[in-house]
Amino acid sequence: MARSKKTRKGGENGPKFAPRVKKADRNTPEGKRSEKGRKPGNRHNESLLKQNAPNASGKSTDPRHGSKKPVALAPVAKPNVTAEKAKPKQPKMTDEQKLLKLEEDPRLNKLLDMLEEGRELSAEDQKWLDSQLDKIEHLMNKLGLNETESAQKPAKTSNKAVDSDDDLLARFESGENILNDYFSKD
């Protein structure tokens, strides 16, 4: 049997297509569609703006929309109103209250615990801790609670008075006696 090539034509049962129409015979739109809306650049047309000059009511009938309020190009300094509204004035804390507040600070307690354990603090934490301790010391001096200075001053003067080797040896031996007394109590 002879081989027959397939064709693109459907034959009698195939779909029927509309016949091709030449370019010259095709329907073309008769003209441009009518434009809708205003012409571009209409708001800048000076003749229209002159026609729409202010009426008797004093308002301009400018077709442009939006705010006509002038905008400041540089920032304008406003009075600080938020500071007045922020907090009502509270009575000042007494020195005792300030001292209690500083001593109960959880961050301070945490950092002091870390120092007691022998850990090293970051530079920022150390600076903050020093400032807090200075505040506490200042308040304690102000309240007269800091008795450590009076106890330290006589000890410093007694250290300066001891200059000879005999005195140093006597102190060392007396320390040994105290140590032996401590062990004998157990």
The least confident of 15-24, 119-128, 161-170 is 161-170
The HSE-up count of residue 16 (CA atoms within 13 Å, CB side) is: 2
Report yes or no on 2 lying in a domain: no
Say whether pLDDT at 58 is over 60: no
Report yes or no on 102 lying in a domain: yes
Report yes or no on 182 lying in a domain: no
Cβ atoms of residues 136 and 130 within 8 Å: no
Cα gap 127→105, rounded to integer Å: 16
Greater pLDDT, 128 or 154: 128
Report yes or no on 135 lying in a domain: yes
Greater pLDDT, 168 or 113: 113
Q: What is the mean pLDDT of residues 115-124?
A: 88
Cα gap 137→132, rounded to integer Å: 9
Give the domain range for residue 144.
93-154
Q: What pLDDT shows up at residue 23?
A: 81
Report yes or no on 119 lying in a domain: yes
pTM for this model (two decimals): 0.34
Q: How many domains does the chain have?
A: 1
Report yes or no on 70 lying in a domain: no
Using CA atoms, how far residue 81 sits from 68, 78, 90, 91, in Å, is: 27, 8, 19, 22
Report yes or no on 149 lying in a domain: yes
Report yes or no on 166 lying in a domain: no
Say whether pLDDT at 80 is over 70: no
Q: How far is CA 77 from the centre of its chain?
A: 23
